[in-house]
């Protein structure tokens, strides 16, 4: 892939990360999915990314009673349920610039009416830590020849073994970063394409602790460099 194209992907992904670092600091207890989505979209627009590749859903926000809801952006409508004093907010950003896609999601905690970078609630701490840990484990073993099926199987076993539930309605854990929605292929059972067959792929977790109340999202995009080393975009 030309270096200039790789830089475009890095830039759009860096912008999404920057937005989700800033967004929690702008929220208060009266914010809703709707207002959070508007704030996220505005932050993306201010940084030069007014468009989205994911239907008409640049920011898919879930909180409160919908924390564990698995829904396509095609059918998503933001709710007016407020954050309140304690909540978990998940935001999935899908900015686009031409045929370059960004894809980045995180969950963050709200405690005592404000954003908690280091939450005290045990379920919050365990969920956020596990999601980050699984990404680190994935990076330690996948190779260009690893199949989408193998990554799917490994991730779902690790989720179950660790006392969590995969909330994705198809149990998928990511997809290729393509140039159209129809071209995407998913990290799902019986997809024996190799990870190196696509330019970029997302590893996307959406999990809940067994018996828990909150759904945790953690998504990053990856690619293999010329030496076959896995790199985060």
What domain count does the chain have?
Answer: 1
Question: What is the pLDDT averaged over residues 97-108?
Answer: 97
Question: What is the pLDDT averaged over residues 23-43?
Answer: 98
Any bridge partners for residue 97, and if so which? 100
What's the pTM value of the predicted model, to 2 decimals? 0.96
* Domain span including residue 197: 3-232
* Structure confidence by residue, pLDDT tens digits, 44-98: 999 999 999 999 999 999 999 999 999 999 999 999 999 999 999 999 999 999 9
Q: What is the CATH number of the domain that holds 13?
A: 3.90.230.10
Nearest-10 crossing angle of helices 3-22, 33-46: 140
- Closest by CA to 6, choosing from 172, 212, 14, is 14
What's 67's DSSP letter?
T
User: What's the burial of 127, exposed, middle or buried (CB within 10 Å: 0-12/13-18/19+)?
Assistant: buried
Contacts of 53 (CB under 8 A, 6+ apart): 94, 95, 96, 101, 181
- Checking if the pLDDT of 3 tops 80, the result is no
Question: What is the pLDDT averaged over residues 99-107?
Answer: 97
Confidence (pLDDT) at 10: 98
Query: pLDDT-derived band of residue 200, with 50, 70 and 90 as boundaries?
Result: very high
């Amino acid at each position: 892939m030309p270096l200039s194209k790789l830089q475009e992907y890095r830039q759009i992904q860096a912008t999404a990360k920057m937005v989700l670092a800033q967004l929690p600091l702008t929220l208060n207890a009266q914010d809703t999915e709707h207002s959070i989505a508007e704030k996220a979209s505005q932050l993306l627009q201010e940084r030069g990314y007014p468009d989205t590749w994911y239907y008409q859903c640049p920011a898919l926000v879930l909180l409160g009673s919908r924390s564990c809801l698995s829904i396509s952006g095609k059918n998503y409508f933001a709710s007016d349920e407020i954050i309140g004093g304690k909540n978990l907010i998940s935001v999935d950003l899908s900015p686009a610039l031409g045929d370059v896609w960004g894809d980045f999601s995180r969950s963050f905690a709200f405690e005592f009416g404000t954003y908690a970078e280091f939450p005290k609630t045990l379920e919050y701490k365990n969920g956020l830590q596990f999601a980050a840990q699984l990404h680190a484990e994935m990076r330690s073993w996948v190779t260009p020849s690893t199949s989408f099926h193998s990554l799917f199987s490994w991730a779902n076993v690790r989720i179950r073994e660790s006392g969590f539930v995969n909330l994705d309605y198809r149990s998928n854990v990511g997809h290729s970063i393509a140039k159209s929605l129809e071209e995407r292929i998913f990290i799902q059972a019986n997809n024996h394409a190799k990870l190196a067959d696509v330019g970029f792929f997302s590893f996307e977790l959406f999990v809940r602790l067994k018996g828990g109340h909150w759904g945790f999202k953690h998504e990053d995009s990856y690619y293999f460099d010329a030496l076959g080393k896995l790199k985060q975009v």
